[in-house]
Amino acid sequence: MMRKALAGFAAVALMAGTAWVAAPPFADAQGGGTVEVEVKYSGAADVQTLKVNKDTEQCGKEAKVENIVVGGNKGLANAVASIAGAKGQPTGKKAAIDQKGCKFVPHVIATTPGEVDILNSDGILHNIHTYSTANPSINKAQPKFKKTMTEKFEKPEFIKVTCDVHSWMLGWIAVMPHPYFGVTNESGVAKIENAPAGKQTVEVWHEKLGKVTKDVEVKPGATTKVTVEMVKK
Ligand SMILES: [Cu+2]
């Protein structure tokens, strides 16, 4: 089923003449396993609270800047876990990030190269501004009537997203080179589905804490758990 869907996607990509034609063959998903990555951080959380003096009806009177979010059991949220150096086709799913309450929701999204929908649930003026090197950077207004803007991110990269109207707004779009990734939830857990079996290296990225790797043996058809500690740089 999955393979068929991916084959269909590849055919569409072929017709569209996109770069995916040159991508290596899809790794055999039937032999894949799940990796459950628990990311821990022993340091203190870093969430700044700022006073808001504009658009308070939608934004509220206070904004939180979520630099380091630590949940119960020292779980680190908003980290991207992936299989380092893996090869694979794009997910074929369009990712989305919303602007809601003058916050990017979720704070971090991860996707494979392609289109991303940038939503404006607030119904006020926002201004998307991305900071990237591999992809062209975007700096454009999203007026209140514009519910969705679709942007293309073709190259793997961790892209910082801000809003020039609301200085505290900060989010990340992780464009990953393959589909074997997950973003940690508020408990610090990310699931990587269908990861290629065998000896692999899990790489964890966090916007403030950088990157950490850990070796793991992925068992086909089973869930392998791994705990990764991040430390302050
Ligand atoms: Cu904004």
pLDDT tops 80 at residue 77: yes
What is the second-level CATH architecture of the domain 30-230? Sandwich (2.60)
d(CA 51, ligand 1 centre) in Å: 15
pLDDT at 174: 98
- Rounded distance, CA 173 to CA 109, Å? 5
Measured in Å, residue 46 CA sits from the centre of ligand 1 at 22
Confidence (pLDDT) at 11? 44
Average pLDDT of the residues in 7-35: 53
How do residues 135-185 score in pLDDT, each as one tens digit?
Answer: 999 999 999 999 999 999 999 999 999 999 999 999 999 999 999 999 999
Q: Under 8 Å CB-to-CB from 11, ≥6 apart: which residues?
A: none
Q: Report the chain's mean pLDDT, rounded to a whole number.
A: 90
Residue 208 CA, ligand 1 centroid: distance in Å: 22
Q: Is the pLDDT of residue 57 over 60?
A: yes
* CA–CA gap between residue 232 and residue 1 (Å, rounded): 43
How far apart (Å, rounded) are the C-alpha atoms in residues 190 and 146?
Answer: 32
pLDDT value of position 30: 56
Ligand 1 centroid, distance to 166 Cα (angstroms): 4
Report domain extents, the chain: 1-29, 30-230
What is the whole-number distance in angstroms between the Cα of residue 151 and the centre of ligand 1? 17
Phi, psi (deg, nearest 5) at residue 182:
-160, 160
Which tokens sit at 162? 């801000």
Q: What is the pLDDT of residue 233?
A: 78
Q: Are 123 and 101 in contact (CB under 8 A)?
A: no
Instruction: Calculate how far, in angstroms, residue 62's C-alpha sits from the geometric centre of ligand 1.
Output: 14
- CA distances to 27, 31, 180 from 23, in Å: 11, 20, 15
Q: How many helices (H) and strands (E) does the chain have?
A: 2, 18
68 pLDDT tier (thresholds 50, 70, 90)? very high
Whole-angstrom distance, CA of residue 155 vs CA of residue 162: 19
pLDDT in tens, 99-148: 999 999 999 999 999 999 999 999 999 999 999 999 999 999 999 999 99
Answer whether residue 4 shows pLDDT above 80: no
Three-state secondary-structure class, residue 30? helix
Query: How far does the centroid of ligand 1 lie from the alpha carbon of residue 134, in Å?
Result: 24
pLDDT at 2: 46
Question: How far is Cα 118 from Cα 227, in angstroms, rounded to an integer?
Answer: 32
Rounded to whole angstroms, how far apart are CA atoms 137 and 16?
Answer: 24
C-alpha 192 to ligand 1 mean position (Å): 31
Distance 161 CA to ligand 1 centre (A): 11
**Residue corresponding to tokens 């290296």:** 201
Residue 127 CA to ligand 1 center (angstroms) comes to: 6
Place of tokens 């009806």: 57
